[in-house]
Structure 1
């Protein structure tokens, strides 16, 4: 199927532009700050938020070929890719970082991937770090084919698959996320987003108007995201573009980690506004914004748009030590 033949809008009916919802919260209003929630979580029930924006251009480029992609045991990206395969009728292979025996029975996230038809291949961390090596990928596809009907002549070939990187972040994904910036032009002074692999921030910042700025809140520790976001922008746009920064203080110990302070904040925000808060990404971003507001980081009169990138259907985070 040629890429232009895949009409994702007609097939999946995304809700675009996503709604922009004002929120009255004294943690912001007492500093003269207006808070808006950019409800990307409402774009599509199975491909919400940045998963739609990053996957859609890659799905078009794949043109119906099987998708091969990567993620951890609780990866939202794997779940969205599997759902896309089910909805659009193409095979998906998910390479999962971790031991298969330790992952059985499957957690709810991986169980949903399997239910949507994704073939899961578990690899150790050493192999996973080499996932961009074509020889390693060929072995992974061979493992994925074990138990399928047909002989060696029917073994899947790497060249027949479309590769999407971990988190879905590549140049196409960043270009897809520029639409998020375009939708927010002239509507906010600052736009905030939680970051895992940097693709959403890279595209968002590129799509904003020159007088706007973006803040990314990494949910993983390690300090690698500035370089990765810049790399993606170089690949997608030819260089760093847009006004963007990162605040590394709110990962709470790393991916899927939490603290009592973050838990209390998220529960109170939910109770106050009647909005369930996704814990792995969105809670950390909102917590970071409230902290910055209290620190006086935004002058009175600032309008902040906080991007809600997902729904709270992920497993509960563990506590940071």
Structure 2
């Protein structure tokens, strides 16, 4: 399955002689959105090949990965278990649109404390989960592993070789690693970090061998899942002008960063940029509930 490339026509881009195209990975599937579709593809096939009938994974309250895994497992006739960060959600998850949808799609939810959640990669913790739930195929938080990277390598097609720059948001590093692996040496890959801190470069370096990439840490807006009124206004205006919705956690921040860089002549005239829309639109409803509590402007749905 392939996504479509959509040209973005805005006055700034014409003024600076920059061609920007968005690869609409958000349109790949109505419920298994964007990079989650890519990351889960080979993980699901591996689970089936190993004869596993249950997928277990991890995520937060509004996790795109949790929502996508629940539906993907249901679609393939597999059971799904979601280990959710935040034991306080156990009594209120029915008011959370992401978790409610995952539950409706058949996912069993297990809520644990943030302290316990930090042990999610430790062997003794995984063994305790196996004692509780029986055998399962483990997919890590965010879905990033070698199988996920293999899937994300398929985002780039032969037709995308014309672009000088390929840009993506970065969370766990799996998507941008797949893009780097699939890129040509003359292409430059820019990953826009959605997280505060400078650790993602080291994480990506573990997963790739090429050197034609960089991680931009300037547009995280305070860290993971942090959103400002400025970012909300940008996303709403971008949608109004282009008819392309952006999510506030990942792609919205990437696009804000790209727009800012084009404004400030970071790219030479004539540059052709391909920006990957990694999906995540299901989280907008949940984000709006948070923005409303903080008396901030809401994202247009």
**Do these two structures clear the TM 0.5 threshold for a shared fold by scoring above it?**
yes
Q: CA deviation at 1:102?
A: 6.2
Q: Distance in 1 between matches of 2:180 and 2:91?
A: 37
Give the aligned partner of residue 32 of structure 1: 17
What is aligned with 1:134?
123
Would the aligned equivalents of 1:37 and 1:306 in 2 still touch at CA under 8 Å? yes
Q: Give the alignment of 1:20-169 within 5 angstroms.
A: 20-63=5-48, 65=52, 66-101=54-89, 104-106=92-94, 107-142=96-131, 145=132, 156-157=133-134, 160-169=135-144
Q: Report the Cα offset of residue 48 of structure 1.
A: 1.7
CA deviation after TM superposition for structure 1 residue 29, in Å: 2.0
Please list every run of 5 or more consecutive structure 1 residues that lacks an aligned counterpart in the other structure.
Answer: 1-15, 146-155, 234-239
Check if 1:180 corresponds to 2:165: no
2:261 pairs with 1:292: yes
- Whole-Å Cα distance in 1 between the matches of residues 274 and 129 of structure 2? 41
TM-score with structure 2 setting the length = 0.89
| Runs of 4+ displaced beyond 4 Å | 317-321
What whole-Å deviation, never above 9, does each CA across 1:90-134 have from its counterpart, x for those lacking one?
111111111244661431111111111111111112211111223
Offset at residue 62 of structure 1 (A): 0.7
Query: Secondary structure of the residue that 2:160 maps to in structure 1?
Result: coil
- What SS does the aligned partner of 1:80 have? helix
| Distance (whole Å) between structure 2 residues aligned to residue 282 and residue 25 of structure 1 | 17
Structure 2 gaps of 5+ residues are 297-301
RMSD of aligned residue pairs (Cα, Å): 1.9
Correspondence 1:310 to 2:289: no
TM-score by length of 1: 0.84
The alpha-carbon deviation at position 71 of structure 1 amounts to 0.9
How many Å separate the matches in 2 of 1:175 and 1:84? Answer: 17
- Aligned partner of 1:256 among 211, 225, 228: 225
The alpha-carbon deviation at position 242 of structure 1 amounts to: 5.0
Deviation of 1:80 after TM superposition, in Å, equals: 0.4
- Alignment equivalent of 2:243, drawn from 274, 279, 285: 274
Post-superposition CA distance 1:117-168 (Å, at most 9, x none): 11111111221111122321232345xx5xxxxxxxxxx33xx211111100
Equivalent residues of 1:19, 1:39 under 8 A apart: yes
